[in-house]
Amino acid sequence: MTTTSGTADPRNLPKSGSITPEERKVIFASSLGTVFEWYDFYLYGSLAPIIAKQFFIGEPTTTFIFALLAFAAGFIVRPFGALVFGRLGDMIGRKYTFLITILIMGASTFIVGLLPGYAAIGIAAPIILVSLRILQGLALGGEYGGAATYVAEHAPHDKRGSFTSWIQTTATLGLFLSLLVILGTRTAVGEEDFAAWGWRVPFLVSVLLLGVSVWIRLSMNESPAFAKMKAEGKTSKAPLSEAFGQWRNLKVVILALLGLTMGQAVVWYTGQFYALFFMTQVLKIDGASANIMTALSLALATPFFIFFGILSDKIGRKWIILGGCVLAAATYFPLFGALTHYGNPALETALKNSPVVVVADPASCHFLFNPTATKKFPSSCDIAAGMLSNASVNYTTQEAPAGSVAKIKVGDKEITAFNATMTPDGLNFDKASKDAEAALKKEVGGAIKAAGYPAKADDTQINKPMMVLVLFILVLYVTMVYGPIAAMLVEMFPTRIRYTSMSLPYHIGNGWFGGLLPTISFALVAFKGDIYYGLWYPIIIALITAVIGALFVGETKNNNIYAND
């Protein structure tokens, strides 16, 4: 597919010149509404540990993974939202389609703030919560493509990267806003009340943002490119079959996914979400401190979305995006090592000086991934591994004779685990096993504490300026891969099927490869016994994108986005 020839810009604008008041309104209105949608969507991610305790049951490792899966559910359905709303956007217009998406998002978020927890309504609580996350994901699947397309189709030819980069800031600004509201609520009500009920406040106040966003979007005009195409009777009657049923179009969709958005997504979520999860769950830094440091890094790095958007108008978009993928893959291990060094030096010292070994029959060791949070792992190896992972203790495994009971070696101390007996329903340990588990947990806790493993990070020992610097670098990579990508995706597809075509690869990349990153990475950590092992997932995906993008994706900045061939 090519978009380098065909229809001229219907607005008859020169290639350069100062931004007009109408263009400012387009950028502001589109960006503000999208900030609100991202704010709604990422409230859940920022509060996943608290929500896990409110809506799910099970052991800490499986409960948190299940909460992350509920977080990921909103991402998993995003491509389906892209199909539904992309089709509508290409048939009836950009404006009304993403007005619908913001209403769905806002209502779903507000209801989360009112939803009773598991203790009040049982299994209905997580079912309703996941259903609301699915609605949010569907709405977001239709939002981004519409906003990016709408802004790009209003932009002068040589400013598409600049104009759409404002849309790219909205995901970070939405996360930044969610962190500020969470921090403000935490400070106002205190940690105990926040965990009990205060976490609902950020969800409930979103209804005010919804009202403002809807009012602004109602005042917007339709995209000039779409309006002209509609007036000429050239809109697509079947955008899905045109976009994905014809190989010349489908191959561009596939390349956009594998050679651009897949790598962009894992860099984005590693820099802005996995880093936050790593600080709170692995380094045991308290939520307030982690949120403040993350918010500062976001504030410092956000202008670079605009910088790389403008730069992409001058030198091209492709190599900025792929360069960000390569830099991230090359430096993730030392950067996350630096987070440990500056965030929890006691943990770093313990990891170096007090190696832990699990001696077990390999047949008794399993992948500790329990998406339903209802299954217990009764083998002695699994019990030992789960306890160590929860304590952020790196461990290696040593093979033991078949049928033997696992042992945990902490320095010179050796602790024997046990094989638990299940209750008749097969869902939990019986009373004797629970008592044995509590005793083992106490003994293991004492041993790792004596070996220097901290129960939580010492706030006085956190080098916060250096932490913010490391987080800033991680977000800087995000700005490289994300700042230019909206313009590039818009430029890859013709007007008549643009909303549909660009939305699907974007949301498969970000919804599936990116949205599942925290879940997959934490499961890998629990499986391997290495707090850094989860980084292999984003590193491998980013490198695959760099190779495919370099070989098969062409530069797009000079493409004519008004062509329909």
Compare 518 and 180 and report the one with higher pLDDT.
Answer: 180
pLDDT value, residue 92: 73
- What's residue 542's pLDDT? 97
Whole-number pLDDT of residue 464: 96
- Ramachandran class of 9: left when φ > 0, alpha when ψ lies in -120 to 50, beta otherwise: beta
- Across-strand partners of 358? 397, 408
How far apart are alpha carbons 403 and 360 in whole angstroms? 9
H/E run at residue 408: strand 407-410
79: pLDDT confidence band, cut at 50, 70 and 90? confident
Give, in degrees to the nearest 5, the angle at Cα 290 between 287 and 294.
135
Highest mean pLDDT among 198-202, 206-210, 329-333, 419-423: 329-333
Give 322 or 233, the one with higher predicted confidence: 322
β-pair type (407-410, 395-399): unpaired
Average pLDDT over residues 267-290: 90
Q: Are strands 356-360 and 413-416 parallel, antiparallel or unpaired?
A: unpaired
3-state SS of 190-253 is CHHHHHHHHCHHHHHHHHHHHHHHHHHHHCCCCCHHHHHHHHCCCCCCCHHHHHHCCHHHHHHH
Average pLDDT, the chain: 83
pLDDT of residue 7: 52
Mean pLDDT of 37-56: 75
Which of the pair, 283 or 134, is modelled with greater confidence?
283
Say whether pLDDT at 224 is over 90. no
Kindly report, residue by residue over 324-363, the tens digit of the pLDDT: 999 999 999 999 999 999 999 999 999 988 889 999 999 9
pLDDT at 424 exceeding the cut of 50:
yes
Q: How sure is the predictor about 503, in pLDDT bands with cuts at 50, 70 and 90? A: confident
Domains of the chain as residue ranges with CATH: 21-344+459-552 (1.20.1250.20), 349-450 (3.40.30)
Residue 407, phi then psi, degrees to nearest 5: -125, 145
CA-to-CA dists, residue 285 to 198, 206, 280, 392, 461, angstroms: 20, 27, 5, 12, 11
Tell me how far apart the alpha carbons of residues 407 and 359 are, in angstroms, rounded to a whole number: 5
Mean pLDDT of 91-97: 74
Q: So what's the pLDDT on residue 478?
A: 95
Following CA atoms 375, 376, 378, 382 in sequence, which dihedral angle do they give, to the nearest 10 degrees?
Answer: 100
pLDDT in tens, 427-486: 678 889 999 999 999 999 999 999 989 989 999 999 999 999 999 999 999 999 999 998
> Has this prediction a pTM greater than 0.75?
yes
Q: Kindly tell me if the per-residue pLDDT of 64 is higher than 80.
A: no
Calculate mean pLDDT across residues 125-144: 82
Residues near 31 by beta carbon (within 8 Å), at least 6 away in sequence: 147, 166, 167, 169, 170
Distance CA 362, CA 373 (A): 24
H/E stretch holding 360 reads strand 356-360
Residues 353-389: tens digit of each pLDDT: 888 999 999 998 887 655 444 467 889 998 898 888 8
- Is residue 270 within 8 A of residue 332, CB to CB? The reply is yes
Is the CB of residue 66 less than 8 Å from the CB of residue 52?
yes
| pLDDT single digits (tens) 149-193 | 778 877 888 888 998 888 888 877 887 788 889 889 988 998 889
Q: What is the pLDDT of residue 372?
A: 41
